Structure 1
Amino acid sequence: MDRERILMGVVGRPHGVRGLVRVHSYAAVPEDLTAYGALTDEHGQVWSLRWRGDGIAELRDAAGQPLSGRDAAQAMVNRRLYVARTSLPEPDQDEFYFTDLIGMDVRAQGTDAPLGRVLVVHDYGAGVSLELGGQGHAPLILPFTRACFPVVDVAAGRIEAVLPDEIEVQGDLSDKGEVEVSATGGAS
């Protein structure tokens, strides 16, 4: 896994016919995506970005040329945009980048029994969840909350999990609704 680059955005669908695209920024403040310097994609191409509206951006290649039109913008859909890790601030003591969790071993709190490795960090808008699994471990998806993961120590390479008895989702489950995920019970 490439730990030198951090995924900070994804190109969405085209906007209009002049080569503009929607960009889904993973920065705490979406507009800050432009503050971290050059962006690179999974193919190693270098891009710069200029916001043109709420979530709408103009992408320019390394030569400074914008996307030529809607077809060029369509070819960029789902392109991942990365920044150099050195361009980002160091996380505070109780913070980390999700990419640092991928591949870490997870153990059950109290018993130290292995539960697997972090395979994927999911964020579909209803809260972050971690998918655990790996050699000899059944796949398991847990909400990434303090109730389920009371210890996340990236420096020590340690994640401890409490398996909940129940996972409850509350709120409006419609397309634009807000939900809250909580875990209850479990060994503590």
Structure 2
Amino acid sequence: MKTQLVHVGTIGKPHGVRGLVHLHPCIENPKDLETYGELVDDRGERWTISWQSSKAAALYDSQKKRIEDRNTVEKLTNRKLFVPKDLLPEPEEDEFYFSDLIGLQAKIKHEDQSEEIFGTVHIVHDYGAGVSLEIKRDQGENALIPFTKLCVPEIDVKSGWLLVRPPNEVEVRPSNEKDQS
């Protein structure tokens, strides 16, 4: 079985001229980026970090050699950093790793309690103002659903599905209804 990697941070712009970088953590405690050991970037390169201040870190390559010049770290800007999921703590009840949501089947439950497949969670978006799920639909355009308890009232990661209640702004047609236009 292949080890699942989880996005834990992104390398930002250089900080100064001595090779420090701004790091943008995707985890609750940014200091944990140091304790995970080797981080793998989206190109397969391995890094370790050492925080130098609350906003800047030193990067070390797979040979444990510190990157010491601005031009080199500038080329690393926007690289995503990952760790194996098994290094992370189990999420609390009603908490989820975004990577666990991708691929779940999205269902709608109708008033008569019948269920319909709405699509599959394709992407989880988090732009800072709230998380949304992009649901890939078999027919029609993808739908964006706010990731709130109101719009996603039930999630069963182990069984591979979640229940969605799209807001009124998302047009939902029953799968048996043909496009009449």
Q: TM-score, normalised by structure 1?
A: 0.82
**Structure ID, larger Rg:** 2
Structure 1 runs, 4 residues or longer, greater than 3 Å off: none
1:15-164 equivalence runs, <5 A = 15-110=15-110, 111-164=114-167
**Aligned residue identity for 2:141:** A
- 3-state DSSP of counterpart to 2:73: helix
Aligned to 1:178: none
For 2:8 and 2:102, the matched residues in 1 are separated by: 16
Shift of 1:166: 5.1
For 1:79 and 1:35, the matched residues in 2 are separated by: 19
| Aligned alpha-carbon RMSD (Å) | 1.7
Q: Identity of aligned pairs, percent? A: 39
- Please say if residues 6 and 84 of structure 1, whose CA atoms lie closer than 8 Å, have aligned partners that are also in contact: yes
Q: Deviations over 1:34-57 (max 9, x none)?
A: 222211112221110111112211
Unaligned runs of 5+ in 1: 168-188
- 3-state DSSP of counterpart to 2:71: helix
- Please say if residues 37 and 87 of structure 1, whose CA atoms lie closer than 8 Å, have aligned partners that are also in contact: no
For 2:118 and 2:20, the matched residues in 1 are separated by: 44
For 1:61 and 1:67, the matched residues in 2 are separated by: 7
Aligned to 2:10: 10
- 3-state DSSP of counterpart to 1:113: strand
For 1:126 and 1:8, the matched residues in 2 are separated by: 19
Size of the aligned set, in residue pairs, is 166
- 3-state DSSP of counterpart to 2:129: coil
Structure with more of its chain in strand, by fraction: 1
Shift of 1:24: 0.6
**Aligned residue identity for 1:61:** D
- 3-state DSSP of counterpart to 1:67: coil
For 1:75 and 1:34, the matched residues in 2 are separated by: 21
- 3-state DSSP of counterpart to 1:126: coil
